[in-house]
Amino acid sequence: MIYLDNHATTRCDDRVIAAMLPWLTTNYGNPHSTSHAMGRDAWEIVAECTASLAELLGNPSTDLIVTSGATESNNLAIKGVCLHPRQKRRKIVSVATEHPAVLDVLDQLKPQGFRIEILPVVPVGQVDAGTVDLNALEETVDDDTALVSVMWANNEMGAIAPMKRVAQICHQHGTLLHSDATQAVGRIPLDMLAADVDLLSASAHKFYGPKGVGLLAVGNPNRRVRLLPQIVGGGQQGNLRSGTVAPAGVIAIVTAMQISLAQLSVESSRIRKLRDQLAKNLFSQIEGLELNGPELDSPYRLPGNLNVSHPRIEGETWMSAAADIAFSSGSACSSVDPEPSHVILALGKSETEARRSVRFGIGRFNTDTEIEQAANILIAAQQRMMS
Residues engaged in binding ligand PMP (CB under 6 A): 69-71, 99, 101, 151, 155, 180, 182-183, 203, 205, 214, 331-333
In the complex, which residue's CB is closest to ligand PMP?
69
The DSSP symbol for 11 reads: P
Nearer Cβ to ligand PMP (181/245): 181
Q: What are phi and psi of 327, to 5 degrees?
A: -145, -175
Nearer Cβ to ligand PMP (29/158): 158
In the complex, minimum distance from the CB of residue 218 to ligand PMP, in angstroms, rounded to a whole number: 17
Question: Cα angle at 218 between 214 and 222, to 5 degrees?
Answer: 150
The catalytic residue among 12, 49, 170, 333 is 333
Q: Which helix (H) or strand (E) holds 180?
A: strand 176-180
Q: What are phi and psi of 321, to 5 degrees?
A: -80, -20
Nearer Cβ to ligand PMP (70/286): 70
In the complex, minimum distance from the CB of residue 286 to ligand PMP, in angstroms, rounded to a whole number: 26
Nearer Cβ to ligand PMP (131/331): 331
Task: Classify 67 as helix, strand or coil.
Answer: strand
Burial of 287 (0-12, 13-18, 19+ CB in 10 A): exposed
Nearer Cβ to ligand PMP (119/375): 119
The DSSP symbol for 385 reads: H
Determine the straight-line distance between the first and last CA of the chain, rounded to whole angstroms. 25
How distant is the alpha carbon of residue 71 from its chain centre? 10
CA nearest to 77, candidates 64, 88, 90: 64
Q: Which helix (H) or strand (E) holds 248?
A: helix 247-262
Nearer Cβ to ligand PMP (17/379): 17
In the complex, minimum distance from the CB of residue 106 to ligand PMP, in angstroms, rounded to a whole number: 14
In the complex, minimum distance from the CB of residue 98 to ligand PMP, in angstroms, rounded to a whole number: 8
Task: Classify 66 as helix, strand or coil.
Answer: strand
CA nearest to 131, candidates 121, 140, 119, 141: 121
Active site residue 12: no
In the complex, minimum distance from the CB of residue 154 to ligand PMP, in angstroms, rounded to a whole number: 7
In the complex, minimum distance from the CB of residue 25 to ligand PMP, in angstroms, rounded to a whole number: 25
CA distance 245 to 133: 38
Q: Which residues are catalytic?
A: 333
